[in-house]
Structure 1
Amino acid sequence: MNLQQLRYVVATAEHRTMTDAAKSLYIAQPALSRAIRDLERELGMTLFARSGRGVVVTAQGRRVVKLAREALDAVREIEELSAHGQTSDTELRIASTPSLEPGLAGRLLPAYTAERPGVRVHIVRCDGRDGVVNAVRDQRADLGLTDLPVPADLVSHPLERQEIVLISPPGVELPDPVPMSRLNGMRLVLPVPGSARRREFDALFARYGIAPVPAVQLDERGNWLNTVRSGAASLLWYRGMAEQALRAGLRVRSLDPSVRRVIALIHARRRLPALAQEFLSVAEGGSAA
């Protein structure tokens, strides 16, 4: 049993459906269901009874949910005590997704280290928004840089709105900007079905009434540009990846209408170390919407 499982139990009890609980946790619904089943098997008890499309907390489950909430509250209190003792630290840990790291390293970090040259900043590289959220929750990072939305147990500080662009193999003839309608039937690299990121893309496509072809479906973002370079498909991702894509010989085009996402620094709901508070001040002071 671990803290992540306790969070899963509490979220499922609060939302009363696996689907809504999974959305709030930014994980796939099958993954949540499997984690709950594994925990029930480990404890030797049934925590949730399935009822139609939802779940009902059992008598044993109510006791476990109560204790899980108390345990998570205790962990938050311990984190607050820990934060009070971190004022002498000289290392700041920031989690970031690969696509946002260039902006972090190229703009935010130089501005911060110019004011605090004695501070060592360690970038915790994470595979997507879920990885950043988990790094902050698990205290592997003091702050996280990711796009919104994030779960309600985290605090977000919006910094800017970053454009989503189309990255295509060389030789693909398209106008710039690319009308959204041209994505209909286009072969795209997409996250796996059921993931939080895939749901966001599907909502975007539904909004414009288009149906791209999922040519490749994977969450390993490190392989996305290689897949585009092979000519298998195009990719929708942030303008921050444009320089890396151009160096790889790929084409980068805007969309019409333009699509932008809010980029934010996030942290847990607790007293932040002084270094993290100072970084927030520098980042918000120099951010542009």
Structure 2
Amino acid sequence: MNLQQLRYVVATAEHRTMTDAARSLFIAQPALSRAIRDLERELGMTLFSRSGRGVSVTPQGRQVVKLARQALEAVKEIEALACHGGYGTAELRIAATPSLEAGLAGRLLPAYAAMHPGVHVHIVRCDGRDAVVAAIRDDRADLGLTDLPVPADLVTHPLERQEIVLVSPPALDLPSPVPVTRLDGMRLALPARGSLLRRELDALFTRYSVSPAVVLESDERDGRLGAVRAGQASLLWYRVMAEQAVRAGLVVRSLDPAVRRVIAVVHARRRLPLIAQDFVATAERERAA
């Protein structure tokens, strides 16, 4: 058994076909098949069930794939230590939606960078929760920052509950908190259709049988905020980002009943690189602070 065979096993499990796995590894498909058959003979077990449409991982194979991933991650960490005498110029990839990226950059990243100045953090920008999950599953990101729920194959570390609030011109006479039913017929500036926040808001409107008067549809937050400054509409926003509205002289009110979502750091169910483990620990310390 060698590291190359372990890489072949993991790639085959991820791609589900020998052809796609070989392409990702830049080797010929017969060479990949031969290496895996040799490993199966050496171990005395069948790792993959073959069919005309591809391969499926056997129960024994799932255990081997899990351990192979852990072994390869450990090798990567050893290589990083050998090359840089520590974390050095290692890169941590975090998938996040645009609405959460600002909070990530403003609070978590400075706290993490203070302890790990040699680690470069790359933000993988994703359009919604599903895209964050896909980035982690495709190994384009080590961690994700998104709202819950996520599929059960991911591990979650809840950080905070974000509240959706109503931001209005100061002249608008409304109670505080604002009953959700008062949104019926209210002039609102909303995100563009199809965006994650818009889908959440549409679900809220459906749940409470309200139909706001849509004045503006835009994914540009500054554009929606500008409509409120001009007295043309109100908007629904996350409280963590509403300080900008307060500084602009606008009024921020909670909804009744309160509308909240849980934000969490998420990752695959496998051993994380040390730099990712440290980021999770930093996020949990910030939550407790």
Distance 2:203 2:280 in 1: 31
Shift of 1:161: 0.9
Contact 1:147–1:264 (CA under 8 A) maintained in structure 2? yes
Distance 2:170 2:143 in 1: 37
**Match runs of 1:40-55 below 5 Å:** none
Contact 1:96–1:144 (CA under 8 A) maintained in structure 2? yes
Distance 2:251 2:140 in 1: 36
From 217, 224, 247, the counterpart of 1:227 = 224
Shift of 1:271: 1.9
Task: State the one-letter code of the partner of 2:74.
Answer: H
Tell me which structure has the larger Cα radius of gyration.
2
User: Are residues 1:86 and 2:76 paired?
Assistant: yes
Contact 1:169–1:230 (CA under 8 A) maintained in structure 2? no
Distance 2:259 2:182 in 1: 15
Map of 1:134 onto structure 2: 134
Percent of residue pairs bearing the same amino acid type = 59
State the structure with bigger RCO (CA 8 A, min sep 6), 1 or 2. Answer: 1
Contact 1:168–1:228 (CA under 8 A) maintained in structure 2? no
Sort the Cα spacing of 1:208 and 1:110 in 2 relative to 1 into closer, same or farther, 3 A: same
Distance 2:98 2:236 in 1: 14
Contact 1:95–1:132 (CA under 8 A) maintained in structure 2? yes
Gaps of at least 5 residues in structure 2 are: 1-12, 17-50, 81-86
User: Are residues 1:146 and 2:143 paired?
Assistant: no
Task: State the one-letter code of the partner of 2:73.
Answer: A
Shift of 1:132: 2.0
**Match runs of 1:142-221 below 5 Å:** 142-168=142-168, 171-188=171-188, 189-190=190-191, 192=193, 200-214=200-214, 221=219
Indicate the SS of the match to 2:157.
strand
Sort the Cα spacing of 1:167 and 1:128 in 2 relative to 1 into closer, same or farther, 3 A: farther
Shift of 1:209: 4.0
Shift of 1:185: 1.9
TM-score, with normalisation over the residues of structure 1? Answer: 0.63
Indicate the SS of the match to 1:205.
helix
Shift of 1:108: 1.5
Shift of 1:212: 2.9
**Match runs of 1:273-288 below 5 Å:** 273-288=273-288
Shift of 1:238: 1.4
Distance 1:268 1:282 in 2: 18
Indicate the SS of the match to 2:156.
strand
TM-score, with normalisation over the residues of structure 2? Answer: 0.63
Map of 2:9 onto structure 1: none
Indicate the SS of the match to 1:181.
helix
Q: Tell me the C-alpha RMSD between the 2 structures.
A: 3.6
Gaps of at least 5 residues in structure 1 are: 7-61
Shift of 1:286: 2.6
Shift of 1:118: 2.1
